[in-house]
Structure 1
């Protein structure tokens, strides 16, 4: 059993040489192995900042608070150290990596995470199986990472990484963004497989409840103006779908 724990996290971003803006204003969250935590909230509330801060994006400055993974200080780790410790970020807008093929990227990442190159026979089998499950064309392994991919193809490639790298915790930032219903089901199935195989804990950031029809959350958190303002079970997501976020924003 692993635990990712966030306590009283305050994070700012620099606007210019003299000005900073606080975005996260005291976030508390604990995720354990096998748990799914859905974080829902309006645009601009700081959800993506939370995801990027966990992953170690240098743009965001932690001014106070802690993030620990099994008692180890995550904030003291470089980005690659966080990945090796078992953290994974599925980006809202996956970037293109010209000149780097998917097959080289994936195997290099797996080698860096595990500290040794995977057995080529087992790796080829695992890669082929994961691509088939995610309905990714086999020819894509020779294409550059995300270059010329559609939105749905980029998101499926993110989940391909998730299945192969087997993290302890996945932070999925609007994985459902831009997906049609077929792609949403495929991506959701991939996340569910990773959880079933690895006891992975998941922080699922989303605006809408439709992905929660396929990835069933244990906990739902409402995120407004840089902090958690309410939490509950799956029924809270249904209420948000019906009522929206206006009543929270009025009290922010």
Structure 2
């Protein structure tokens, strides 16, 4: 699915990633944890193709293709999805129209038949119901006036509708109460299949208790300093990052 080798990246000539090596096989969920400022969000942005970040070394393959050679829209068509830590508001852009346009753009690029308004609304309403979202959120502008929890659920709704091959969740659990956290986790777990993988960036064991990742990677100072099974997250919950980061320095 995803293979990252020696990935280094910078922004405004400031090095952020300094040689990342991660392999995410088909059907697996991997968690990325680490102190603030360690490069976790940068990794997600680079994989999604944000232009501000310059890749200075290494490579990334996704389903055998050179991911870094693709434009952001090509990555979306290939199945890359990024859920933001702080979803932005889009005044004047209807939520349902936005989602339908995105879905049909992907379907068109793949040579699939586009959905008409009635077909899309049926799909969107069913997805919203599974996430305990009020149907009227589909009629509002994207994230405008949404609570923090509603914005995060809206991100998972997008994911449920677009059905990516690889979801990158950048602290989607941030600011969620226990009930909303479970709904978001259930939305991710509903997509689990041999054709779906995820990179979950998080600080919190609560989300990982619900997702049960295959692997956990600790990122610090732009590098992966340790990888392990789900028990590694429990160790971090107990002892924090400091000792592990100092040990790897």
TM-score computed with the length of structure 2 as normaliser: 0.95
> Of 129, 138, 142, which aligns to 1:141?
138
Contact in 2 for aligned 1:87/1:169 (Cα 8 Å): yes
Alignment of 1:53-64 (within 5 A): 53-64=46-57
Contact in 2 for aligned 1:47/1:205 (Cα 8 Å): yes
Contact in 2 for aligned 1:33/1:169 (Cα 8 Å): no
In 2, Cα distance between equivalents of 1:205 and 1:30 = 15
User: In the alignment, which residue of structure 1 is the partner of 2:168?
Assistant: 171
User: In the alignment, which residue of structure 2 is the partner of 1:220?
Assistant: 216
Q: Single out whichever of 114-123 and 210-219 deviates more from structure 2.
A: 114-123
> Of 183, 187, 201, which aligns to 1:186?
183
Cα distance, 1:142 vs. partner?
1.2
In 2, Cα distance between equivalents of 1:52 and 1:172 = 11
SS at match of 1:194: coil
Cα distance, 1:5 vs. partner?
1.0
> Of 78, 82, 104, which aligns to 1:85?
78
SS at match of 1:175: coil
In 1, Cα distance between equivalents of 2:43 and 2:149 = 23
User: In the alignment, which residue of structure 1 is the partner of 2:93?
Assistant: 100
In 2, Cα distance between equivalents of 1:163 and 1:40 = 24
In 1, Cα distance between equivalents of 2:5 and 2:129 = 40
TM-score computed with the length of structure 1 as normaliser: 0.94
Cα distance, 1:125 vs. partner?
2.1
User: In the alignment, which residue of structure 1 is the partner of 2:6?
Assistant: 8
User: In the alignment, which residue of structure 1 is the partner of 2:200?
Assistant: 204
**RMSD value over aligned CA atoms?**
1.2
Contact in 1 for aligned 2:148/2:176 (Cα 8 Å): yes
Gaps of 5+ in 2: none
Contact in 2 for aligned 1:107/1:117 (Cα 8 Å): no
Cα distance, 1:184 vs. partner?
0.1
Q: Single out whichever of 120-129 and 205-214 deviates more from structure 2.
A: 120-129
Q: 1:18-76 deviations in whole A, cap 9, x for unaligned?
A: xx211000001111221010111010000000000000011110001111112211111
In 2, Cα distance between equivalents of 1:113 and 1:30 = 26
User: In the alignment, which residue of structure 2 is the partner of 1:230?
Assistant: 226
In 2, Cα distance between equivalents of 1:70 and 1:181 = 35
User: In the alignment, which residue of structure 1 is the partner of 2:40?
Assistant: 47
In 1, Cα distance between equivalents of 2:195 and 2:55 = 29
User: In the alignment, which residue of structure 2 is the partner of 1:17?
Assistant: none
Gaps of 5+ in 1: 15-19
> Of 143, 152, 156, which aligns to 1:155?
152
Cα distance, 1:119 vs. partner?
4.7
SS at match of 1:185: helix
In 1, Cα distance between equivalents of 2:180 and 2:146 = 14
Cα distance, 1:4 vs. partner?
1.1
Cα distance, 1:124 vs. partner?
2.4
- 2:125 corresponds to 1:128: yes
